[in-house]
Structures are given as structure tokens and as C-alpha cells.
Amino acid sequence: MFILDGLRLTFLQTFNIFDFRLLRFSVIFWFMNKKYININKINNSLKEINNLSRKDKKERILYWIFLDSDRIKDYKKFISSMPASKKIGIVMRVKSNKGIYLKSKILLKLCKRKKFTFLISSNLKIAKAIGADGVHYPKNFIACRKDKAFFTSCSCHGYNDYRRVKNLNVNLVFISPLYKTKSSDKKKPLGLTKISLLANYIKYKYSILGGVRKKNLKNLKNRGFTSVAGLDYILDTLND
């Protein structure tokens, strides 16, 4: 009897160990497969953006991701899930400067590993201190110190921003909003025609921001855009 009970216990223990290992393997395989699928989705999305225009096919960055703490709770986890690509740029935005040095330093390290261009919004001092690629100036910045070795960008929401854009003299202008968005629901969308006219007026290299999604991307084809920006499009891609 004791021998049979011992054999039964040994069998159950062996079965449980095998069952646990199988479960562990299944979970690991599921996560790896999901990550592989997401990488393919994002790479295909970058190709779609690249096909929007016949101009400047050598454009380095195709998609700029503006991090939004209201929609992405864990920036580190979000960036870690992305595929490595020189075609992606990250703009870090925070509501509070508390702990921004450490947070931005961690994200910069991740972005370097992923080959992303990394900009910090509003804070030139921190951007230079950690060795970021550049800084982004939102609407409340009307002038900045010039540094040719440092990449700079700014926002533009209409013709009233013309003088401000000229004063900042940036490398890239983000014109927005193209469509209505959750993050700027109080701003009236400019639409494709107005954005094209505004871009011709300011005469700066530009990207479009605001409400660009999978369902409306085809509307941008052959409009002269070489890159798009925001968060909706990438979230649509991952949730598709």
C-alpha cells in the first residue's frame, strides 16, 4: 500500500511539473508571438506612411510619436514593445517636471537601443544634460537659443504662429490639428486644404499632427506629406 501511494505521489508530482512547464512554455510562446505580430504591424504601417508621397523617399523619420501620459501609463513598457527602427521619432511630454531628469534618461537609453530619435518637450536644459537628440517647443515658446548641432521642432496651429516659427527657426514644424482629437478637442481641425496652404506659407519642413488614424491615412496620399505624428495611428495599428 505504501509503495503504491508513493508511486502515485511520484506520478502526480511528475505530471504537475510537466503540466507547469507546458503552461510556462505556452505563455512565453504567446507573448513572443504577440510581440512578433506587433513588430510586423508597425513595420507595415511605416511602409504605408512611406508610400504617402513620391517626394523625399530618403526621409529619415516617417512617424513621430507624441507620448501622452493620459493614454500611455507606462512610457518605458510602451517603447520597449516597439520594433527597432530609424524611421521612428519619440517626443517626450510630461505634465510635471518632477523626476523628469531620471525618467528622460531611462527613455533615452531605450530609444538609443531602438534607434529612435528622442526629443524632450519644453526643456532644453534637460535635453542637453542627458544627451537627447533634440527639443520640441510647444505653443508657449516664442524664442529659443540656437544650436546647429541640436535638432529642434515646434508646434504650429495657424497663421498667427508664423512669426513664432520664424523666431524659433526650427528643423521641423508640427502643424496641427489635422482632424479632431481627444488630446485637443477644443481646437478646431484645420483640414487638409488649410494645412497645405499653411505649410506653403511658413516654408519650413513640416509634419502633420492630430487625428491621423488607420481609417483616414489614405486621404493623405500624394499631398506632399513625408511624415505624420501623433499617437492614434500607432495605437490603431497595435489594436488592429
* pLDDT of 34: 46
CA distance 41 to 240: 9
Q: Confidence class of residue 89 from pLDDT cuts 50, 70 and 90?
A: very high
CA distance 88 to 91: 10
62: which DSSP letter?
-
Residue in 68, 37, 39 with CA at minimum distance from that of residue 229: 68
DSSP secondary structure, 190-208, as one string:
-HHHHHHHHHHHHTS-EEE
Give me the domains of the chain, ranges plus CATH numbers: 2-239 (3.20.20.70)
Give tens-digit pLDDT for 8-43. Answer: 545 444 545 545 454 454 444 334 444 555 678 888
Give tens-digit pLDDT for 158-174. Answer: 999 999 999 999 999 99
Percent of all residues in the chain with a pLDDT value above 90, rounded to a whole number = 38
2-50 and 232-239 are packed helices; what angle lies between their axes, rounded to 10 degrees?
140
Residue in 153, 156, 158, 104 with CA at minimum distance from that of residue 131: 104
Tracing cell 497645405 back to the chain, one arrives at 196
Phi, psi values for residue 115, rounded to 5°: 70, 25
Which cell is 45 given?
504601417
67: which DSSP letter?
-
CA distance 157 to 146: 22
Higher per-residue confidence, 66 vs 49: 66
CA distance 193 to 230: 19
Higher per-residue confidence, 199 vs 15: 199
How far is residue 148 from each of residues 60, 78, 128, 151, 164, measured CA to CA in Å? 18, 31, 13, 7, 18
Give tens-digit pLDDT for 101-134. Answer: 999 999 999 999 999 999 999 988 899 999 999 9
Q: Confidence class of residue 207 from pLDDT cuts 50, 70 and 90?
A: very high
Cis peptide preceding 177, ω within 30 of 0 = yes
Q: Confidence class of residue 72 from pLDDT cuts 50, 70 and 90?
A: confident
Q: Confidence class of residue 180 from pLDDT cuts 50, 70 and 90?
A: confident
Least confident of 18-27, 102-111, 144-153, 196-205: 18-27
pTM for this structure?
0.81
* pLDDT of 14: 53
